[in-house]
Structure 1
Amino acid sequence: MAKKLNEKTIKTLKERRKLPLATPTDLAAAATRDISAALNQLLADVFALYLKTKNFHWHVSGPHFRDYHLLLDEQGDQLFAMTDPIAERIRKIGGTTLRSIGHISRMQRISDNDADYVQPLDMLAELREDNKVLAAALREAHNITDEHRDIASSSLIENWIDETERRTWFLFEASRQGDSTGH
């Protein structure tokens, strides 16, 4: 014998038909909205920082070319590896993600660098500061996910904060000028 659906269930099913990408979640609608907005902002920043890092990777030159080229390649890979988990987390909680380069450019807080030439140490300094901006944004997003008790998003963000702090540290150490003894 089939169960008769109550009015609330029927209403919920009708609303889902109107929003086919609204993945079911136990988070409140306000939580989905707030967390999705914070994660989309992060996604835009990570894409912007990824492209800037790869830009500098492709255009670095000078006596430390190999070391800087490899460092920036590794950091670019790490940033790119963040993008899919961020976007998929947004979708898992019922949100929608960025859809275009234009969307990214409207949301990003990391500035582009379109200069024809940037000194290698200036590249490292700029990326170091950008990673510090990203770390602060990650902490802001963490506050939002904590507020809404989204443990899974908070956990991911905690790992990304650690990775971002590591990138910042490596960029700082790589840009230090040695004394006459090489230290």
Structure 2
Amino acid sequence: MAQTGDNSKKAMIDELNGVLADHFALYIKTKNFHWHLKGPRFRDLHLLFDEQAAAILGVTDAMAERVRKQDGETLTSIGAIARTSRIKDEDNTALEADAMVEALRADNETLVSGLKTLKNAAEEAGDNATSALVDEWQDAAEERVWFLSQTLK
């Protein structure tokens, strides 16, 4: 049974902001790896990381607008992203390609987990529009996990 009211709506907005922060943080991390990649698989991974970074960034506006459509406040700064994100920074520019791929796979799995939590929160809040969008975002994150997993085989 869908729960309505301020508590479920606030929980959904908090989850939306968390997933949004995770996407921004993963975008930066993916671009970092795109820029610092080296080795025999450079071209393929360089292009894959760039493609994935663009897809990750591409959903952020819709996420923030869902927050605003619910009369919520969304992220305002790099600091807000850092405080809210579950994605950990990686400042080591000497990582091997496989370590980069493994890190991005794990981080995209974190996105999938956060999106599942968001889906439950949207359903609790009775927000069918957010729930439907989460299905698309989750599918995209699962596809990135799949691609990165296959790259490691």
Give the TM-score of the pair, scaled to structure 1. 0.80
8 Å contact kept, 1:32–1:95: no
* Distance in 1 (alpha carbons) for counterparts of 2:27 and 2:126: 29
Residue pairs, 1:128-143, within 5 angstroms: 128-143=105-120
Equivalence for 1:3: none
* Distance in 1 (alpha carbons) for counterparts of 2:74 and 2:27: 17
Unaligned runs of 5+ in 2: none
Equivalence for 1:42: 19
Residue pairs, 1:1-183, within 5 angstroms: 28-176=5-153
> In the TM superposition, what is the alpha-carbon distance from 1:34 to its structure 2 partner?
1.6
Query: Secondary structure of 2:90's partner?
Result: coil
- List structure 1 segments (4+ residues) > 4 angstroms apart after TM superposition: none
Identity of aligned residues (%): 45
Q: CA RMSD in A?
A: 1.0
Q: How many residues align?
A: 150
> In the TM superposition, what is the alpha-carbon distance from 1:30 to its structure 2 partner?
2.7
Unaligned runs of 5+ in 1: 1-26, 177-183
The higher-RCO structure (CA 8 Å, 6+ apart) is 2
- Bigger radius of gyration, 1 or 2? 1
* Distance in 1 (alpha carbons) for counterparts of 2:11 and 2:149: 33
* Distance in 2 (alpha carbons) for counterparts of 1:64 and 1:38: 36
| Deviations 1:12-46, CA, capped at 9 Å, x for gaps | xxxxxxxxxxxxxxx73334312111100111111
